[in-house]
Structure 1
Amino acid sequence: MKITTNMHEGRRTEMYACGAWNDMIITDYLEMAVTKTPQKTALVGYRVHAGDRSAMSYSELDRRITRMAAGLAALGVEKGDVVSCQLPNWWQMSALFLACVRIGAVCNPLMPIFREHEMQYMLAHAQSKVVVVPKIFRHFDHQAMLQGLRSELPDLKHVLVIDSDDEQSFEQVLLQRAWEEEVDTARLFAERRPSADEVVQLLYTSGTTGKPKGVMHTSNTLLSNIRPFSERQGLSATDIILMPSPLAHQLGFLYGLMLPVYLGATAILQDVWEPAFAARVVAEEGCTLTLGSTPFLADLVDIARDEREQQASLKTFISAGAPIPGALVEKAASVMQGTKVISAWGMTENGAVTTTRPEDPQTTAVHSDGVALPYMQVKIVDGEGHEQPAGEEGDLLVRGASQCVGYFRQPDMYQLDNEGWFATGDIARKDATGYIRITGRSKDVVIRGGENLPIADIENTLYKHPAIQAVALVGAPDERLGERLCAYVTLHDSSATLTLKDVTDYLVEQKFTRQYLPEYLEVLAALPRTPSGKIQKFKLRDMARDIFQGQASHA
């Protein structure tokens, strides 16, 4: 399948000239690790609820990838075809991406929390030819969900199910047959090798302004982020990287899947977040680095209060997704004395754009989201597009090497100005040294636990509820999760009643994942509006903040 991107020749020429891009792809780094350290542990996977640990060396990982890649090609996956996967942090997720790269296919990770509503849209839009899912994960039957969707997905040829015992079994189809003996894999991989400018990743945004958009990344856009990121943080092949954040999220994908392979380091994958379990893993595996949103850090800090030595190996915690509360950084500094907290900001469209530096004072992570990585630029502008002076708030724009190459099948949605600047939708200020601070958002978004919630999609669905006349969803600040989702509604019948359970039950009936459900509901006689009729969400945010702060003060 031919994939059209928004790449222009001028950008390609500029990025190669400055050294940001080259002809390397991630499997080149895999092959270097296999040659240099074939018996080194590449990957350790923990299935928390199953209670098992699996590990494999770089040579073993390479053998599995080779078999899977040959198998996918035999199933009819062509260069440029989309292979989707809705997987937890299991080794199969990492191997599947690398196998896709080997044959020039595009990997499309999907969050395990997605249900029919999200999956039907994304798989259809991506025109996925193959999807890989677990049989059961966290008590949910993914195989049954996909079976129910098959009739609506004409492009989908194969559903492969991990831990299934029928003809859809991932193990039987891709692993138990020696596909590599049925084809000349060296020739196949040479013919299918993607250029560094071809799309290898398709990752959907959370749809904060409507339907999700499929962000397209190439080897160059992804690796041009990983290289300077690892250099700034002083990472090497000796690092042991714990990744509890989902690999289907850009943070987990870049730094839990790709970064260890790039470094020739060891990745530790944890499929379900349980703080005490994670702390034990850090101690037993000697983890040196982990990344996640503020709830992960808050939980590890709580554990470390009683078990300080348990996390002695952890040199760095990189926090992204929402500003880090100052009190949390202070707690981390006192109980995790050997761990440096790094603040970072980025998006699906570009990975981490800014980070604080390891040599910065610890308090920098409280007051700043960092300075731009090499090959990336940030700019703060006013409403007229004029650059703001240091200290003044404005719209945050970004451009550079790791910026994506467009939205899949939605080229008109991807807007850059004439100089290549991308409007992030965030409000920020920049100090005289180039460090930025995110101060707000110009787009309608709520971030809970580091995850953007698809506000427009949830609101549009609630408008279909027979009792609801109007609805607005906003976030209320929360120290652990960043924000909580609050729903304000008016009813067709002012004498009627509507409960939070009524609303959440309705969304579950509409096949929304439970992570997208509101946590607070208030029925109003009227929503605050402008003279033109636009809902004034800032007033609702103030109301929600006051309510949750009041609850906290009485806790």
Structure 2
Amino acid sequence: MTDLTALHHTVTAQLTGPGAPFEVVTLNRGNHSVKAYKNAPATLLAILNEGRQFGSQLFIDSAAGRYSFDDFFAASDQLASYLQHSAAIAPGQRVAIAMRNSAEWLISFTAIISIGAVVVPLNSWGRSEELHQGLTDSDAQLVICDGPRASFIEPQKFGIKAIVCADSASDAESWAAALAAGSALPAATADPQPDDAAILLFTSGTSGRPKGAQFSHFICAQGLFNIEFIGAATYMTNTELQNSYMAKQIPAKTLLAVPLFHISGLFSQFIVNLKFGRALYLMYKWDAAEAERLVKEQGITVLMGAPTMLIDLLERGNLSHAETARISNISAGGAATPSKLYDLYDQHCPETMSGAGWGLTESGGTGAAFTGPIMRHYRGASGFVSPIVELKFCDEQGAALARGERGEIWIRSASTIDRYISGSDNQSDFSDGWFKTGDVGYLSEEGLLYLCDRAKDMIIRGGENIYPVEIENCLLSLPGVAEVAVVGIPCEQYGEQVAAVVRCSGQPLDEAAIRNHCQAHLAGFKVPSQIVFAQTELPRNATKKLLKQAIANAYFCNGD
């Protein structure tokens, strides 16, 4: 065990022991027990209301305008009154949000929680069929949407009440009219209990139909309190670096560029910044050039996103040392951190605290994380397992494997749901409080989590297990490679063979260059047998994950 890992474990024990701020206890939840934070707030509403104390401070900045905390809560309270008294939304009923990142999205979320209703964030990348499916599966009583999503949903035709954030809304209430009406109505009231439902999120659906994951106030509060623990542990393990940065007295401002219907945008960026009085700059959608401009002009201090987003930004190479030195934290999540991103951190952000983490929708984003020099020391790791999280690594029969062996990751925690909503597939993914994540990984002797790949993406060639992400990261380290997807395709001799789809940037590469690079860094059986070059960006979902089945079908015609 290194000094860095020993320090982390010492700090964790100090923070989570009896009487400590993040004391961990064991609670009975149904037919199983979980580890939980004793001092976490009881409800999500209590957490949101913490933001009211920041008054006239700037909260939301965007191309569409600015909101102080007072402005934000005034609008939220007006909308809450409208929803409760005019739209007759009762506690426990579901209200959907279908719009791109905007102040109205954040206001809507807070208003819905304020009346004890359940927020249903819909995928704003969806078109009519997917949006209708989400509304049907959630049994939403009302949808709050922007103009483009309203045109896809057609609320009156679909048969659902709607509030539309547009200048005109012929078949629905307009946003301005709803707030105006709410301002003349009594204040909304609610008294949600910890086990009441708060949020219904749909999984990103890289394959198959999205599944509904419903979070209680208790689950939300535990997941959000875990983010606070990570912040406290980061400070205590990097005190000198943190104090040096804070001495600069740079106002905090987070660039919120990931979709709000995704757990990381919702929890780690929106709600955490609301609670602690920090400003957000909202991006309508991700664009690396625009993000670069905002870092330069808006004084952005925190950047979080999928690895591919941060690679896109840093590869542009236009941020000065002074501009990156303003950034207090740059963190990637949603996938294993490629070696290419570590190199870009070292090149462009040597003084910036960088972080990595692993979590998923079903676990409320909670799983493993770490930030600071230790992250760069242990390249490829996804962090230390959070104090309220239990992990086990299982073989295909569900038998637990020894520490250090690679297996499917099963997770159990106070922030993990125990089932999908009725009507969703894959209920067998849950067992005695454990959720079978579909991710393959292992835990090192020092307590660090390493991800290998998705179980369903693993290639078995002649009896050898091959993890595509290893080959993808190898190829991403080759100059000139912009994107790569590795998939398995049928092979009579070996069962499956390795195939790669590569998109180049600038001067194109040839097959020989790709193959030679792999042969220099990988075992022979991992070198792609087939290589094709893409001329356009590879398909990804809204959280920037590669759509492997669509890629395999498009480039290799291997069907299902």
TM range (shorter): 0.7 to 0.9
Are residues 146 and 18 of structure 1, via their aligned partners in 2, closer, same or farther at CA, if it must alter by over 3 Å? closer
Offset at residue 232 of structure 1 (A): 1.7
Offset at residue 311 of structure 1 (A): 2.7
Offset at residue 350 of structure 1 (A): 1.1
Q: Contact between 2:368 and 2:449, CA under 8 Å: does it hold in 1?
A: no
- 1:543 corresponds to which of 492, 499, 507: 499
Q: Contact between 2:418 and 2:435, CA under 8 Å: does it hold in 1?
A: no
The 10-residue stretch of structure 1 (198-207 or 236-245) with the greater mean CA deviation from structure 2: 236-245
Are 2:78 and 1:67 equivalent residues in the alignment? yes
Offset at residue 246 of structure 1 (A): 0.7
- 2:307 corresponds to which of 256, 273, 294: 294
Deviations 1:298-321 (A, max 9, x none): 122124455232232211112112
Distance 1:325 1:244 in 2: 20
Are 2:44 and 1:26 equivalent residues in the alignment? yes
Distance 1:132 1:356 in 2: 34
Q: Contact between 1:26 and 1:98, CA under 8 Å: does it hold in 2?
A: no
Report what 1:173 is aligned to: 177
Deviations 1:180-215 (A, max 9, x none): 4322x1xx41xx322122111111113345322111
1:361 alignment partner, SS class: helix
Distance 1:13 1:266 in 2: 42
Distance 1:69 1:101 in 2: 9
* Code of the aligned partner of 2:281: I
Are 2:328 and 1:315 equivalent residues in the alignment? yes
Report what 1:218 is aligned to: 216
Report what 1:501 is aligned to: none
Alignment: residue pair count:
454
* Code of the aligned partner of 2:196: E
Deviations 1:497-527 (A, max 9, x none): xxxxxxxxxxxxxxxxxxxxxxxxxxxxxx6
* Code of the aligned partner of 2:123: M
Report what 2:520 is aligned to: none
Distance 1:552 1:70 in 2: 65
Distance 2:212 2:254 in 1: 28
Q: Contact between 1:407 and 1:414, CA under 8 Å: does it hold in 2?
A: yes
Q: How does 1:382-393 map to 2 (within 5 A)?
A: 382-393=395-406
Are residues 142 and 309 of structure 1, via their aligned partners in 2, closer, same or farther at CA, if it must alter by over 3 Å? same
Report what 2:117 is aligned to: 105
Offset at residue 249 of structure 1 (A): 1.2
Are residues 327 and 546 of structure 1, via their aligned partners in 2, closer, same or farther at CA, if it must alter by over 3 Å? closer
Deviations 1:80-121 (A, max 9, x none): 121111211101111111101111111111122101221121
Offset at residue 417 of structure 1 (A): 6.0
Q: Contact between 1:34 and 1:59, CA under 8 Å: does it hold in 2?
A: yes
Q: Contact between 2:44 and 2:198, CA under 8 Å: does it hold in 1?
A: no
Report what 1:270 is aligned to: 283
Distance 1:53 1:547 in 2: 35
* Code of the aligned partner of 1:385: G
Deviations 1:393-412 (A, max 9, x none): 11111010110243122377
Deviations 1:469-511 (A, max 9, x none): xxxxx999474887549898xxxxxxxxxxxxxxxxxxxxxxx
Q: How does 1:44-193 map to 2 (within 5 A)?
A: 44=61, 46=62, 52-73=63-84, 74-135=86-147, 141-147=148-154, 150-151=156-157, 153-154=158-159, 156-164=160-168, 166=170, 168-177=172-181, 179-183=182-186, 185=187, 188-189=188-189, 192-193=190-191
Alignment gaps of 5+ in structure 2: 1-26, 236-245, 460-467, 515-532, 534-560
The 10-residue stretch of structure 1 (354-363 or 200-209) with the greater mean CA deviation from structure 2: 354-363
Are residues 161 and 16 of structure 1, via their aligned partners in 2, closer, same or farther at CA, if it must alter by over 3 Å? same
Are residues 59 and 481 of structure 1, via their aligned partners in 2, closer, same or farther at CA, if it must alter by over 3 Å? farther
Distance 1:378 1:213 in 2: 22
Q: Contact between 1:82 and 1:126, CA under 8 Å: does it hold in 2?
A: yes
Are 2:379 and 1:366 equivalent residues in the alignment? yes
Deviations 1:26-85 (A, max 9, x none): 3323433323x21111222x2xxxxx3422111111111110011112112221121111
Distance 1:145 1:445 in 2: 37
Are residues 15 and 102 of structure 1, via their aligned partners in 2, closer, same or farther at CA, if it must alter by over 3 Å? farther
* Code of the aligned partner of 1:193: D
Identical aligned residues as a percent? 20
Deviations 1:113-132 (A, max 9, x none): 10122112111111121112
Q: How does 1:246-265 map to 2 (within 5 A)?
A: 246-265=259-278
Report what 1:242 is aligned to: 255
Deviations 1:221-257 (A, max 9, x none): 1221222223323489974222101111111111222
Q: Contact between 2:40 and 2:221, CA under 8 Å: does it hold in 1?
A: no
Q: Contact between 1:294 and 1:482, CA under 8 Å: does it hold in 2?
A: no
Distance 1:303 1:410 in 2: 45
Distance 2:169 2:434 in 1: 50
2:345 alignment partner, SS class: helix
Offset at residue 429 of structure 1 (A): 1.3
* Code of the aligned partner of 1:143: A
1:395 alignment partner, SS class: strand
Distance 2:282 2:458 in 1: 29
Offset at residue 171 of structure 1 (A): 2.3
Report the TM-score when normalising by structure 2.
0.72
Distance 1:214 1:485 in 2: 29
How large is the RMSD of aligned CA atoms in angstroms? 3.4
1:287 alignment partner, SS class: coil
Distance 2:200 2:493 in 1: 39
The 10-residue stretch of structure 1 (409-418 or 223-232) with the greater mean CA deviation from structure 2: 409-418
Q: Contact between 1:129 and 1:157, CA under 8 Å: does it hold in 2?
A: yes
Q: Contact between 1:343 and 1:365, CA under 8 Å: does it hold in 2?
A: no
Deviations 1:144-181 (A, max 9, x none): 2222x754x44x2335243435453532332233x243
Are 2:196 and 1:198 equivalent residues in the alignment? yes
Are residues 400 and 172 of structure 1, via their aligned partners in 2, closer, same or farther at CA, if it must alter by over 3 Å? same
Distance 2:267 2:118 in 1: 15
- 1:41 corresponds to which of 46, 58, 65: 58
* Code of the aligned partner of 2:332: S
Offset at residue 23 of structure 1 (A): 5.0
Distance 1:55 1:552 in 2: 53
* Code of the aligned partner of 2:82: G
Report the TM-score when normalising by structure 1.
0.73
Q: How does 1:513-524 map to 2 (within 5 A)?
A: none
